[in-house]
Structure 1
Amino acid sequence: MDSIRISIIQTDIVWENKQENLRLLHEKLQSLRGTTEIVVLPEMFSTGFSMQSNILAEPVTGTTITTLKQWASIYQTAICGSYIAEDKGCFYNRAFFLTPEGKEHYYDKRHLFRMGQESEHFSAGNERLIIPYLGWNICLLVCYDLRFPVWSRNVNNEYDLLVYVANWPIPRRLAWDTLLRARALENQCYVCGTNRIGTDGYHLHYNGGSVVYSALGEEITSLPEGQEGITTAALNLTTLQRFREKFPVWKDADSFQL
């Protein structure tokens, strides 16, 4: 598919209330029926950035993922975000990408936010995920991963779209705005960043800044600060490939291994 539509849902998350957050999401998905190929939710969309992993965690067979898989099928759109996962006795901040055809892709957040004690309650992932979907290659990362460019490095244009799902508070918004644009420029790809609004259970305040950038670092779409909303961007693969051919910075990139 040469053109693909991606929709950002910028929302206030009800603290540690899965049922209510799923209900609110369902209302929003109904409004998106037939208008988009990918819906992007904030990090830990169903609970907020809670450290109550031993209470809130679910397996991939739990209610949250089971419900989202059903909705992806019903509304014929891929859904991605992250949730609190339990797997073989460990807890993860797990990103998901669920397709309407029933395919499931998961990524466990590598860089855990030590200043918020995330590393004390969750295990870190060690494998990056690149998802093939509708002729596109999509890299899905989570919040604090944004600060570490080596982990997101686009070697030989292995992905076309880089997605960050986040709970990124107001005091560090400058870093969010700056680094999202930088990731688009340095990786010659589209970048989508989805953040929440409102106040969480730790009294941290969020004002969004959800946005989609082109490979030129140009803003394609965004949402107003501090407001719930949905916006959809149309991305074009041919346009991206032509830019990479005309200005092949990627050919001069340094090689490295993690």
Structure 2
Amino acid sequence: MKIGLVQNNILWENKQFNLSASKEFFKKAKELKIDLLLFPELSFTGFTMNIEKLKEFDFSTVSYIASLCKGYCINAGIGYIQGITNDIKGKNNYTIISSNGNILCNYSKIHPFSYGEESKYYIGGEEICFAQIDEITLSPFICYDLRFPEIFQIASKKCDLITVAANWPESRKEHWITLLRSRAMENQCYIAGVNRIGIGNNINYSGNSLIIDPLGKIIGSTEECVEDILIADIDRSLVSRVRNSFKVKEDRRESLYHKLQTIDKI
């Protein structure tokens, strides 16, 4: 399966402009014969706390992208703010949509970024989601989730590919690169990290989008601060070969880990 990561400059809080601009990426993805097109976190608003203005209850963003998926016969992953009935907070969601316009999974970010006050405006999700595209099983995570390896271990029991959509600041780009490679090596699966470029709310973003194979090798990268679609092939058989030849997962002692976690601190 050929995936494409959209490393784009998201115009701050201008949902309509960014949605309209997304069509050009679909056109290019069609020419490049991409099977799955992935956009960054909060793809059409940027990393905003302006929930009241930008949250949605009608899935209008998903519906618009679903129409592009059908029109160009491409699967896609996009981020948006889902409103919650009777709650001032929203959910930071990432949705995988099939090439026929159906929702394959709708993930809510488990770990809102408290350092950036995201937890004041967004409710953390409670579930790991999975999607099947052709022979590839994938699971989407979002930005700050990358710092919590436990959920990657759980997801990778089923997954060939884990995606991380982000608005990750340039000031912490070394963390981004190191953590993405670590998650790939630890879980022996493909990791695709898609990040935005440009400036949003006075924060600089350099992109550094990466696609990493199950051995931790970077098989796709982009230039910093350049708008582009990063492309790589996902080979399910490589995941199987790596796991069968170096059986790290079979050596995990999860019942012991759980026991150790429940021991009261002395």
Larger Rg: 2
Q: 1:217 maps to which residue? A: 216
Q: 2:235 maps to which residue? A: 236
Q: Percent identity?
A: 32
Q: Is the 2:77–2:97 contact (alpha carbons within 8 Å) kept by the matching residues of 1?
A: yes
Alignment of 1:39-54 (within 5 A): 39-54=37-52
Q: Is the 2:128–2:155 contact (alpha carbons within 8 Å) kept by the matching residues of 1?
A: no
Residue 95 of structure 2 is aligned to residue 96 of structure 1: yes
| TM-score normalised per structure 1 | 0.94
Alignment of 1:29-48 (within 5 A): 29-33=26-30, 35-48=33-46
Q: 2:64 maps to which residue? A: 67
Partner amino acid, structure 2, of 1:241: S
CA distance in 2, matches of 1:31, 1:156: 30
Partner SS for 2:111:
coil
Q: 2:264 maps to which residue? A: none
Partner SS for 2:179:
helix
1:16-64 residue CA offsets vs partner (Å, 9 max, x unmatched): 10111011111111111151111010001100000001110012x3321
| TM-score normalised per structure 2 | 0.91
Q: Is the 1:155–1:250 contact (alpha carbons within 8 Å) kept by the matching residues of 2?
A: no
Q: 2:55 maps to which residue? A: 57
Q: 1:111 maps to which residue? A: 111
Q: 2:248 maps to which residue? A: 249
Distance 1:155 1:197, change over 3 A: closer
Identify the range of structure 1 (234-243 vs 160-169) with the bigger mean alpha-carbon deviation: 234-243
Identify the range of structure 1 (243-252 vs 38-47) with the bigger mean alpha-carbon deviation: 243-252
Identify the range of structure 1 (44-53 vs 154-163) with the bigger mean alpha-carbon deviation: 154-163
Instruction: Give the one of 11, 15, 21 matched to 2:12.
Output: 15
Q: CA deviation at 1:157?
A: 3.0
* Paired residues, number: 253
Query: What are the ranges of 5 or more consecutive residues in structure 1 without an aligned counterpart?
Result: none
Query: What are the ranges of 5 or more consecutive residues in structure 2 without an aligned counterpart?
Result: 262-266
Q: Is the 2:9–2:197 contact (alpha carbons within 8 Å) kept by the matching residues of 1?
A: yes
Q: Is the 1:8–1:39 contact (alpha carbons within 8 Å) kept by the matching residues of 2?
A: yes
Q: CA deviation at 1:137?
A: 1.2
Q: Is the 1:156–1:250 contact (alpha carbons within 8 Å) kept by the matching residues of 2?
A: no
Partner amino acid, structure 1, of 2:206: N
CA distance in 1, matches of 2:239, 2:205: 32
Partner amino acid, structure 2, of 1:132: Q
- Backbone CA RMSD of aligned residues: 1.5
CA distance in 2, matches of 1:232, 1:171: 25
Q: Is the 2:7–2:197 contact (alpha carbons within 8 Å) kept by the matching residues of 1?
A: yes
Alignment of 1:170-185 (within 5 A): 170-185=170-185
Distance 1:221 1:67, change over 3 A: same
Q: CA deviation at 1:85?
A: 1.0
1:178-232 residue CA offsets vs partner (Å, 9 max, x unmatched): 000000000000000000011112x110100101000000011111001111121
CA distance in 2, matches of 1:134, 1:251: 27
Partner amino acid, structure 1, of 2:233: A
Q: 2:192 maps to which residue? A: 192
Distance 1:155 1:13, change over 3 A: closer
Partner amino acid, structure 1, of 2:204: H
CA distance in 2, matches of 1:134, 1:89: 38
CA distance in 1, matches of 2:127, 2:155: 15
Partner amino acid, structure 2, of 1:75: Y
